[in-house]
Amino acid sequence: MSSVQHQICVIALALLMGSMAHATPPDMVCVSDGVFRPLFRSQTDLKEVSVKSFYLDVVPVTNEKFLQFVRANPRWQRSQVKRIFADESYLKHWAGDLELGTNALPDQPVVWVSWFAAKAFAQWHGKRLPTVAEWEMTAAASPTLADGTKDVVFQRDILRWYSTSSPGVLPAVTSGPANFWGVRDLHGLVWEWVSDFNSATVTGDARGDTGLDRQLFCGAGAIGAQDVENFPAFMRYGFRSSLKAAYTIHNLGFRCAKDL
Amino acid sequence: MILKTFSLAAALCVTALFDATSSLAQVLPPCCRPIAAQTNYTDKSLFQLDSIWTSDAGKRIKLGALRGRPQVVAMFFASCQFTCPLTVSDMKRIETALPENLQTNTDFLLISFDSERDTPAALKTYRAERELSGQNWTLLHGEPDDVRELAALLGVIYRQDANGNFAHSNVITLLNAEGEIVYQQPGLNLPADEIVAKLKAIATP
């Protein structure tokens, strides 16, 4: 996996830190400069958005890690959280405020968490949520290629997950193979929050993007999807557009990112 | 008496130290009026947010500083060539349509998407250009993360394009005096009736 891309990360780091050695934070990897091709874009959007090198968690945040967070931050405990920041289902699978119980194993990805809670967790760790561009760029990597969009086998494996319903018991994190960057479980485990989930100004619903609802958006107007064969990308796009920040869902978790 | 509940100690407008008994709302913009001492906001109050905003007058406030009066809220950016001017016009139309007693007791809040260009000074210019009254209108600048969070709470969707402009959804939100969303009006160029009716309904006798 040693490659040009990985070297870029190291070089970018060295430049940033004034050639001082700077270790990658524990349990994160460096994803290097690249481009994200938005699925939809307007006349004024670029075809490719450049993404600067950043760190990303290797696996989604687990129940165990989230428990540590709520222990230290009581306002994010199930009985304490304010309704505007998380809906009624927040952490509903836990046995109690500070008890995981049998339905939430320590190494399973935490789910039933809102965007606000995910954001607060990240901040507490000195991290942040990844952007759509960062997440999608990283998730485009197959086990062997930084850009796995043309890797037929990889695409088929992803589609398989999207076409099956979530298992009753979520697998533990690290259950999936590492991709080119060393990141795991971007596909096949849970959906993940991103910082700018509320940035899709095309609803993805053809009825909503023409005619009546045009007044809803300013300066949007898509010129069509970029990669019409990328069904999983449509799924993610549609899923994110349907979210509200206080929502909590049985198969929606998150992982954190960090600037270099 | 409303004034009794005000406390200087909790005033978030740190630079505006004034006598709480001085005549209210005569000269002070919404950001800088004395605020209620208690911070026990309701579970659904947007005033719970910890984020710090800067008004076009350069005052640094939390949204809780706006507690006590209904807020007609929209997000915008000053250099918007498309719908924002219409949204602001819609808000002005609401203001004009209010009966006099509600006009002096309703605030209008504009929050910018554009953390980079909409500096407090730029917002001040915008206020002058659009002739937004100093008594009722608040224009706020915030950090990108805080703008994203507030947008999430208001259900506003937005994205910056390659030219630095913002594509965004158009919605006017009505907050009650406790900062809870009581009504949202999506769209543009809409009659003021609905929001005026809601404002009348929530006005305390």
The reply to whether A213 falls in a domain is yes
Could you say which of B44, B80, B149 has the minimum Cβ distance to residue A218? B80
Those of residues 127-156 in B touching chain A at CB distance below 8 A are 145, 148-149, 151-153, 155-156
The reply to whether A66 falls in a domain is no
The reply to whether A114 falls in a domain is no
> What is the distance between the alpha carbons of residues A222 and A42, in angstroms, rounded to a whole number?
4
Q: Cβ distance A245 to B152 under 8 Å?
A: yes
Q: Cβ distance B47 to B67 under 8 Å?
A: yes
Q: Cβ distance B136 to B100 under 8 Å?
A: no
For residue B14, is pLDDT > 70?
A: no
Q: Give residue A253's domain range.
A: 4-61+123-259
- Considering Cα of A202, then A204, then A208, then A209, what sign does the dihedral take? positive
* Mean pLDDT confidence for A60-83: 96
Q: pLDDT tens digit string along B43-94?
A: 999 999 989 999 999 999 999 999 999 999 999 999 988 888 899 999 999 9
The reply to whether A180 falls in a domain is yes
Q: Does A245 lie at the interface with B, CB-CB under 8 angstroms?
A: yes
Residue A227 structure tokens: 């990669």
Q: Does A79 lie at the interface with B, CB-CB under 8 angstroms?
A: no
The reply to whether A97 falls in a domain is no
Could you say which of A44, A45, A217 has the minimum Cβ distance to residue B169? A217
Q: pLDDT tens digit string along A194-221?
A: 999 998 765 444 434 433 344 555 554 4
Reported ipTM: 0.80
The reply to whether A100 falls in a domain is no
* Mean pLDDT confidence for B130-154: 95
pTM, whole model, 2 decimals? 0.83
* Mean pLDDT confidence for B177-186: 94
Q: Does A47 lie at the interface with B, CB-CB under 8 angstroms?
A: no
Q: Does A220 lie at the interface with B, CB-CB under 8 angstroms?
A: yes
- Which chain B residues are Cβ-neighbours of A133 within 8 angstroms? none
The reply to whether A246 falls in a domain is yes
The contacts of residue A88 (CB under 8 Å, 6+ apart) are none
| Side-chain half-sphere CA neighbours of A148 within 13 A | 22
* Mean pLDDT confidence for A132-155: 92
Q: What is the CA radius of gyration of chain B?
A: 16
| Predicted local confidence at residue B38, as pLDDT | 53
Q: pLDDT tens digit string along A29-39?
A: 999 999 888 87
Segment (H or E) for B74? strand B71-76
The reply to whether A109 falls in a domain is no
Q: What percent of chain B has pLDDT over 90?
A: 63
Could you say which of B46, B84, B162 has the minimum Cβ distance to residue A218? B84
Q: List chain B domain ranges.
A: 39-202
Residue A8 structure tokens: 């870029």
- Considering Cα of A93, then A99, then A102, then A105, what sign does the dihedral take? positive
Q: Which residue has the higher pLDDT, A157 or A27?
A: A27
Q: Does A124 lie at the interface with B, CB-CB under 8 angstroms?
A: no
Structural domain count of chain A: 1
- The angle formed by the CA atoms of residues A221, A222 and A227, to the nearest 5 degrees, is 175
Q: Please name the residue that has the structure tokens 């979530």.
A: A166
B39-202 adopts what CATH topology?
Glutaredoxin (3.40.30)
Contact B43 A245 (CB under 8 A): no
Q: pLDDT tens digit string along A48-58?
A: 889 999 999 99
> What is the distance between the alpha carbons of residues B17 and A156, in angstroms, rounded to a whole number?
65
Pick the closest to residue A80 from A117, A131, A112, A135 (CA basis).
Answer: A117
Q: Does A75 lie at the interface with B, CB-CB under 8 angstroms?
A: no
